[in-house]
């Protein structure tokens, strides 16, 4: 099974969340700190909302915070956020080869579905695994065996394409084969992505030549021997 992350891997959305954080906090006379940004960037929505409330001492409930974030983001996901270069061609090529694919994301389901519908990507995936619904963050290695089990495979038979360094580390620790994908948001931690990935690419376009060479074959059992 080939799992794809959404934000920062298939779609160029990380910058949207930087702006949302700025706008949400500026309305309250606040600014994001490095500690705050590092925390919420790696969290599922409920955990990020609770942290935001507690960190800034807000009177908003976590549910209200999530609703505001969702409303601020929906138009971008439904209408403006572009695919990362090579994303459409890679999905099409893998689909033509009959490769099983699923989405593994910390994104809100309604935002995810809005973006997939806009770009016509639903047809490529056998299903979706939303970390939020499992109550786990993607930097928790426990999420990956659950995702593999959902689709009837073992972790050592799974590939994950991912841009976030902590998620790459967690997936690798869980036995997934990890392809680290560059995104500007995580550029300061590109070395961490590389350290926890079996392969790194600067763009999904770099994987397109491999489609004719069996690069995504799932026939090899040991993770360390799989060609990626």
Q: List average pLDDT for each run of 10 residues in the chain, which is 228 residues long.
A: 96 90 93 89 85 95 93 92 97 94 94 96 96 90 96 95 96 96 94 95 93 57 36
CB 165 within 8 A of CB 189: yes
pLDDT tens digit string along 74-87?
999 999 999 999 99
> Which residues sit opposite 46 in a β-bridge?
none
pLDDT at residue number 214: 61
pTM: 0.86
What is the crossing angle of helices 45-56 and 34-41, to 10°?
Answer: 160
pLDDT at residue number 211: 86
Greatest Cα pair distance, the chain, in angstroms, is 56
On the 0-12 / 13-18 / 19+ scale of CB atoms within 10 A, 31 is: exposed
pLDDT tens digit string along 147-174?
999 999 999 999 999 999 999 999 999 9
pLDDT at residue number 17: 87
Handedness of CA 212, 218, 222, 223 (dihedral sign): positive
Buried/exposed code over 132-147 (b: 16+ C-beta within 10 A; e: otherwise): bebebbbbbbebbebb
């Amino acid at each position: 099974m080939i799992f794809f992350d959404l934000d920062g891997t298939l779609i160029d959305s990380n910058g949207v969340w930087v702006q949302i954080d700025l706008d949400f906090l500026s309305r309250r006379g606040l600014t994001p700190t490095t500690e705050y940004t590092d925390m919420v960037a790696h969290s599922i929505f409920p955990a990020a909302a609770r942290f935001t409330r507690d960190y800034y001492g807000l009177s908003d409930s976590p549910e209200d915070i999530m609703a505001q974030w969702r409303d601020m983001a929906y138009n971008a996901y439904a209408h403006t956020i572009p695919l990362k270069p090579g994303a459409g061609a890679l999905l099409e090529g893998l689909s033509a080869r009959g490769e099983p694919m699923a989405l593994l994301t910390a994104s809100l389901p309604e935002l995810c579905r809005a973006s997939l519908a806009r770009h016509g990507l639903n047809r490529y995936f056998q299903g979706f695994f939303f970390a939020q619904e499992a109550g786990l963050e993607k930097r928790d290695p426990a999420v990956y065996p659950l995702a593999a089990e959902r689709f009837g495979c073992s972790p050592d038979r799974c590939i994950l394409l991912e841009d976030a360094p902590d998620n790459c580390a967690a997936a690798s620790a869980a036995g997934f084969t990890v392809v680290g994908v560059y995104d500007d948001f995580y550029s300061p931690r590109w070395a961490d992505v590389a350290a926890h990935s079996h392969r790194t690419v600067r763009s999904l376009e770099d994987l397109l030549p491999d489609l004719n060479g069996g690069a995504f074959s799932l026939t090899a059992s040991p993770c360390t021997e799989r060609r990626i």
